[in-house]
Structure 1
Amino acid sequence: MNNQSELDRVNRVAWNSSDAIRVFTLERAFSDLGEQAAFEWLAPRCTGEPLLDVGIGTGRTIPLMTSISNDYTGVDYTPKLLEMAKSRYPDLDLRHMDARDMSALPSGHYGLAEFSWNGIDCVDYDDRVKILEEMYRVVRPGGYVLFSSHNRGGPGYRENIWQLLPKFTFNPLKLGWRTLRSMRHFQLGTLNYMRNVKLNHDYGDYSVKTAAAHNFGIVIVYTTLREQRRQLAQIGFESCAVFGSCEGNRIDNDVEISDAWWFHFIARKPVAACRFD
């Protein structure tokens, strides 16, 4: 997309940083217990179906997705990360594509479209709607979407630059190590925070705020359960399940307040859906 918002520009810089590449290349399977619970819920419903993996980064989710189906397509809008994924998985269908415009992909085709690691939070609200509408379009009637999103009421929303200061300890060796580590991150983190804090805005049911990840180098959307369920219903989805991040617990439909760091939302396109077909 040519017309980038300031939030979009900030986050694109972060995804090309050495810190982001370091994080994205860590060997891990599931990002957290919530993602594992969501995959276990979806696996029997999506086995063998065509799968779309949005925002693949360097390819962490590829083994998870291909473990339930060989019909796989992965997309990402950061060329550097995508090339790393292609070098690891040269035989897969991996494409450079922005989730806000996936017009190159067929409508009503995929049994599951997923966007992991809170990637949908890294664009502004209107673009978030575009992504969900595109995910709605490409999944088949009866198909599913899975995505994770930061919690407006969770501990991540309360993070600030003071956490970059070393935590005191009476052990001089530990304190020295913590001080050295803090010196390395505090200056860059403070600079990023002061530069990005102007983008902070609280809209009530969701907020835009600079986040601690990548040395306060990203600005993201934090949502509430109520707002995200409302947004999904507005687009045409049926909400199926929500899992909290750290403990992997399923959150009941009538719950509106949670202390999870982020949520994993599963929604389904109705069998009789026709809005975007």
Structure 2
Amino acid sequence: MDTFGNIESLNKSFYYSKEVAKWFAKKEYLLPEEQSFLRDFGGEIVGKSFLDIGIGAGRTIRHLQPLSGSYIGVDFSPDMVREACARFSDVRLEVRDATDLSAYGDGQFELVIFSFNGIDSLSHEGRLRALREIHRVLKPGGLYVFSSHNRDRPRVSPYALENLSLTKHPVRMLKNLLHYWQCIRDWKGSLHCAVEEEEYALRHDSGNFFKVPIYYISKRNQVRQLERVGFRVETIYEGKGLQTTASDADPVSSWIFYVCRKTA
């Protein structure tokens, strides 16, 4: 079943939002696994051509752009790109969809980044299109780095009380209750897009308030998926930024960070 259209339209309804862009603008930190990547591969990537996909409101720009020889940041949400442009007016930022990078030439970049599980917002079909496009715009030997949700982690229920923030302030508590029930309502409204396949799953979680199912995949299957497209996985980091392998069990990390190289 091709869920591309449904997932795409649901994600647009969430990410095409000035409010969500403002929320993303508060994120300025690097995650532990991103810090580990820069520590281990920083010497290789300095001065190279970067394509930073899924920039949101610009979280990664301040950290990556100064390291590059040339830098382009893209996001599929115009609201996100407008927010990022307001904060980084001297950086080349564009509205682009990862499934269509036809604006860029074959082998144009030496590093492509798709951080913070951005690729998981795509359907399975969309994900494979994006991987083929990323492979095309990378130079042979270039690096593709990204994170993806860990299928070996237990599922998160929208009914879990951990999703409800408790406070003694009555007005705030009412808002929190309304948000809690809104999450449950949105979860029910998009259940038709959730799937459990042998290779991957589309599951809801709290990262986007249960509005849209997100792509989950095990480390083993992710490595196989990348190899089919023409990537060789060099390093894998778990949620705390420590190196791991595809065979190591990990029911704890919410997502896994992959460093792979385009094979010649």
Q: TM-score, normalised by structure 1?
A: 0.87
Structure 2 match to 1:267: 260
- Name the CA distance, whole Å, in 1 between partners of 2:124 and 2:74: 21
Taking the aligned partners of 1:166 and 1:95, their CA distance within structure 2 comes to 36
Per-residue CA deviations over 1:121-159 (Å, capped at 9, x if unaligned) read 01111110111111111111111001110011124x334
Partner secondary structure for residue 108 of structure 1: coil
Where does the alignment leave 5 or more consecutive residues of structure 2 unmatched?
Answer: none
Q: After TM superposition, list the pairs within 5 Å mapping 1:88-99 onto structure 2.
A: 88-99=87-98
Once the two structures are TM-superposed, the CA of residue 165 in structure 1 deviates from its matched residue by 6.1
Asked whether the 8 Å contact 1:164–1:185 carries over to 2, the reply is no
One-letter amino acid matched to 2:257: H
CA drift of 1:241 comes to: 0.7
CA shift digits 1:3-50 (9 cap, x unpaired): 9611111111111246522431114221x2122212322211111000
SS at match of 1:161: coil
Which residue matches 2:179? 185
Residue number in structure 2 paired with 1:209: 203
Tell me the amino acid that sits aligned with residue 153 of structure 2. G
SS for the counterpart of 2:253 is: coil
Q: Does the residue aligned with 2:56 lie in a helix, a strand or coil?
A: coil
Residue equivalent to 2:47: 48
1:95 alignment partner AA? E
Corresponding residue number in structure 1 for 2:9: 9
Residue 177 of structure 1 and its aligned partner are, at CA, apart by 7.9
In the other structure, the counterpart of 1:37 is 36
Give the AA of the match of 1:125: H
* CA shift for structure 1 position 197: 1.5
1:174 deviation in Å? 4.3
**Aligned residue pair count:** 262
Change in CA separation of 1:131 and 1:22 when aligned onto 2, cut-off 3 Å = same
Shift of 1:84: 1.1
Give, as a single letter, the amino acid of the residue that structure 2 aligns with 1:12: K
- RMSD of the alignment, in Å? 2.2
- Give the Cα separation in 2 of the matches to 1:60 and 1:167: 25
Name the aligned partner's letter for residue 238 of structure 1: R
Preserved contact between residue 223 and residue 246 of structure 2 (Cα < 8 Å) = no
| CA distance 1:211–1:253, shift in 2 (3 Å) | closer
The Cα of 1:257 is off from its aligned counterpart by 4.2
The answer to whether the 8 A contact 2:56-2:81 is kept is yes
Indicate the residue corresponding to 1:128 in structure 2.
127
From the superposition, tell whether residues 158 and 166 of structure 1 become closer, same or farther in structure 2 (CA, over 3 Å): closer
How many percent identity over aligned positions?
Answer: 28
Distance 1:134 1:40 in 2: 27
1:160 is aligned, of 154, 158, 168, to 158
The aligned residue for residue 254 of structure 1 is: 247
Change (3 A) 1:231 1:256: farther
